[in-house]
Structure 1
Amino acid sequence: MDAKKIEDIARQINDSIPAGIKDLAGSFEQRVKTILQQQLGKLDVVTREELDVQQQLLLRLRQRVEQLERDLAAMQKPE
């Protein structure tokens, strides 16, 4: 997950806490950010860019397999 998104989530959580409690928490936003990063790091996720690259590779492989199947079928046709 994007570091900016994590910061935004941490900020939103921090902003929803009443002022008195914020004073007690001190660096609550940083704690939330650290915990989010730790927990998200445990997940088996990929970035959108990585997914897009893998989809493009898969598309090219699929096209290549289809071409090879057509070539094979053409070679197997009796002449």
Structure 2
Amino acid sequence: MTKKQLQSAWKKVIKETHKIPNWDALKRNSRQYRRVVMLRELILFCQVLLEKIEMGKNTAFNTIIFKKTINFYCAQMKEYV
């Protein structure tokens, strides 16, 4: 996932959040609430991984982790977006 893809995914999360008329009234166990929260967490995790790879710290290790986890998270995001 590139930074542009992450930004567009984040915009989808914001759009999804704005679809909810009363965010505060949502129950934490509701499907809509979990959906938005999971998307946020996935995207933020992807951003952290990308930043670590770009910084050059443990590049080989981070690249391996990124490749393995990003495939899983992309599949999860496709289900929810």
TM-score, shorter chain, exceeding 0.5? no
Give the TM interval when normalised to the shorter protein: 0.3 to 0.5
* TM-score (norm: length of structure 1): 0.36
Mark the structure with the bigger radius of gyration.
1
